Structure 1
Amino acid sequence: MEKRNIGSLSVSPIGLGCMSMSHGYGPSDEKTSIQLLNEALDVGYDFLDTATMYGGGRNEELLAKALKTRRQEYVLASKCALFSQDGKPTIDGRAETIKAQCEASLQRLKTDVIDLYYLHRLDPKVPIEESVGALANLVREGKIREIGLSEVSADTLRRAHDIHPIAAVQSEYSLWTRLPEIKMLDVCESLGTTFVPFSPLGRQFLTGKAQEASCLTEGDIRTSNARPRFETEAFAQNSKLLEPLREVAQEFNCSLAQLALAWIIALPNRAGKQTLIPIPGTKHIAYMRENIAAMNVNLPLDVAEYVSSLIDDDKVIGARYNDRQMKVMDSERDRN
């Protein structure tokens, strides 16, 4: 399958989200994670995504330790402005914070440059122009190659792009989370910005392997800020939506996870080009291999459109985040 572009960068149609190896989904094993990262490069992943927030920097350190001799084999993405302070998530998009966090990430990652550096969340107290101006300075200094934004609205993207070209926007997008379809996908296309879906497997729900919140371990975000769709009653109702998807997956001889990823990479923009680059995350080697194999699933456009009709936000019970989390999101919140 052809490579897909992120600004000046070129990557495979499916990347690897590294968060769960250090953060968000309960305990993980460093030895297994190191093996997973190396095997990921071996089987075709060449786009790895981490962040300052993930494990308080430990995820960046993990990548450096695991792949210290293989830095030239992958495109590296990391993020700034969102971090944990006194055990609580904190957003700081000031120029001095962005610069300091970039320097710290470079040291943890043991690299001279970060290929794609995202503003992880918009700081409501800091104009986007100021934050992007700081990122643009890092480009000029050679510390980062391309600028990205995460979980922002289409209007914020436009304002940011006026300051410096934005290579990528990363936001949640999957069969059961379709918010970017309101405006973001069209605006990205018009600006030449690549859209990078995170949680393309619905935090495991779309794989058919997930459990309801009460069965999950402590430290799993699905028991806290991402809980609404995993509450017992909501989870039971939502699970019924998977049944017709199973029939399609069986027809194409693939797993539910592979179908969900194949759907994303098959979606064309208005010009008919396939440009989306999902970054499914996992801490399991078997799932990592299963996910990359979705590139071998040839999903015709009419089938992708049929799959689109089977499950979407209107059919799903529960918000993707709890009320507290939703309040800090800068995104289109309705379909008006």
Structure 2
Amino acid sequence: MERRTIGAAALEVGAVGLGCMPMSWAYSGSRQRGAASLRTVHAALDRGVTLLDTADMYGPFTNELLVGRALKGRRAQAFVSTKVGLLVGEQHLVANGRPGYVRRACDASLRRLQTDVIDLYQLHREDPEVPVEETWGAMAELVSAGKVRALGLCAVGARSGRGPGARLHDGTIRKLERVQQVFPVSAVQAELSVWSPEALESLLPWCEARGVGFLAAMPLGSGFLTGTLTPGEGFERDDLRARHPRFTAEMMAANQPIVVGLRRIAARHSAAAPGTEVTPAQVALAWVLSRGRHVVPVPGAKRECWVRENAAAAGLRLTAQDLAEVAALPAALGSWD
């Protein structure tokens, strides 16, 4: 698989990453199987998918434990990315950016992941009660201590309300400028997909201009862009999509033209290479990959078949016609907040 670089330190990762969260949190709990998840991680590594993205809050903690088990004997093949700064409270998520907590959380993540070093440590969410420079400074100390190789920031809670569904990242850029004065930012993780392209407006250009890696979260639109979800089929109660405005039966039906467009492009590529089946998901990932040389899509997956499909997208090259057709697709309907 093609390799891409993250940050000024030129850390190399496979062009497509693996989001491990669905294996133990947020999506269809009844379909989560530990043994199957281990096989999924191994299948990813076998195909050059090196970036494994997790977080201490997923579970909480169970996702890191799972990744740690999967990496036994294979740690050298993986680029491990985890996060700090967000806790699962009784009623809602709680940010914690106190330096003491950051140091303890890192040690706990190292134990769960069964590793001596975290390749990329990301600030999951800024604590409004702690200056972000203090949190980032504590994270920088972890690099100096040899516990972390590079630092990243998740663009969470940085949206403004200009326009329906707008996700402008002005607040994130201001935050990035501040922490950059403390210690270099190697990567930014934010949503980027065919139906949520707002990061292209300012956040991705900011990263490109500084050689900062961009980890594209939810590049398949939480599964919608795969074309495998049927409007009105419903989701399990513990699935976040069950409460999401864009995943109501009405909105899923209204946004089908986007999937139809991706499917049309996939069919054209399949016809051009007999014996090869290109899927809408692969077209969606190839579009994200085409957004820049430092962009790494991180699709979530629970099954080996999906990892194989996603990894193959790294070899798909979209034509100028393909890209023009994607650009002409209708904007997604429904709130994404």
Instruction: Tell me the TM-score normalised to structure 2 length.
Output: 0.89
Whole-angstrom CA distance in 2 between matches of 1:92 and 1:160: 17
- 1:143 corresponds, among 143, 147, 150, to 147
Find out whether 1:187 has 2:206 as its counterpart: yes
Deviation of residue 133 (structure 1)? 0.8
Q: 1:258 maps to what in 2? A: 282
Mapped partners of 1:275, 1:172: distance in 2: 15
1: CA distance, partners of 2:26 / 2:56: 13
- Map of 1:89-108 to 2, 5 A cutoff? 89-108=93-112
Q: Deviations over 1:167-198 (max 9, x none)?
A: 00001110111121221011111222111101
Output the amino acid matched with 2:5: N
CA contact 2:257–2:329 (8 Å) conserved in 1: no
Alpha-carbon shift at residue 32 of structure 1 (Å)? 0.5
1:267 corresponds to which of 275, 291, 296: 291
Q: How do 1:31-110 residues align onto structure 2 when only pairs under 5 Å count?
A: 31-86=35-90, 88-110=92-114
Distance 1:94 1:301 in 2: 48
Distance, in Å, in 2 between the alignment partners of 1:98 and 1:108 is 15
Following superposition of structure 1 onto structure 2, how do residues 281-296 of structure 1 map, counting pairs within 5 Å? Answer: 281-296=300-315
Give the deviation of 1:300 after TM superposition.
2.6
Deviations 1:83-116 (A, max 9, x none): 2133632111121121111111001011111000
Q: What secondary structure does 1:278 align onto?
A: strand
> Do residues 158 (structure 1) and 177 (structure 2) align?
yes
If the length of structure 1 is used for normalisation, what is the TM-score?
Answer: 0.89
Task: Find the residue that maps to 2:125 and give its secondary structure.
Answer: coil
1:302, CA displacement in angstroms?
Answer: 4.7
User: CA separation in 2, counterparts of 1:151 and 1:214?
Assistant: 31
1:252–1:91 CA distance, 2 compared to 1 (3 A)? same
Distance in 2 (CA, whole Å) between partners of 1:2 and 1:38 is: 18
Unaligned segments of structure 2, at least 5 residues: 157-171, 271-277
Q: Which of 236, 252, 257 lines up with 1:217 in the alignment? A: 236
| Paired position in structure 2 for 1:231 | 248
Deviation at 1:308, TM superposition (A): 2.5
Bigger CA drift: 198-207 or 89-98? 89-98
* 1:35-89: CA deviation from partner (whole Å, max 9, x where unpaired): 1111211122111110011111111111111221111111100000012133632
- Per-residue CA deviations over 1:249-299 (Å, capped at 9, x if unaligned) read 11112100000001111224xxxxx22100101112111111101012111
Higher alpha-carbon deviation: 209-218 or 259-268? 209-218
SS in structure 1 of the partner of residue 135 of structure 2: helix
State the shift of 1:214 in Å.
Answer: 6.2
RMSD over equivalenced CA pairs, Å: 1.5
The residue aligned with 1:3 is: 3
Secondary structure of the structure 1 residue equivalent to 2:222: coil
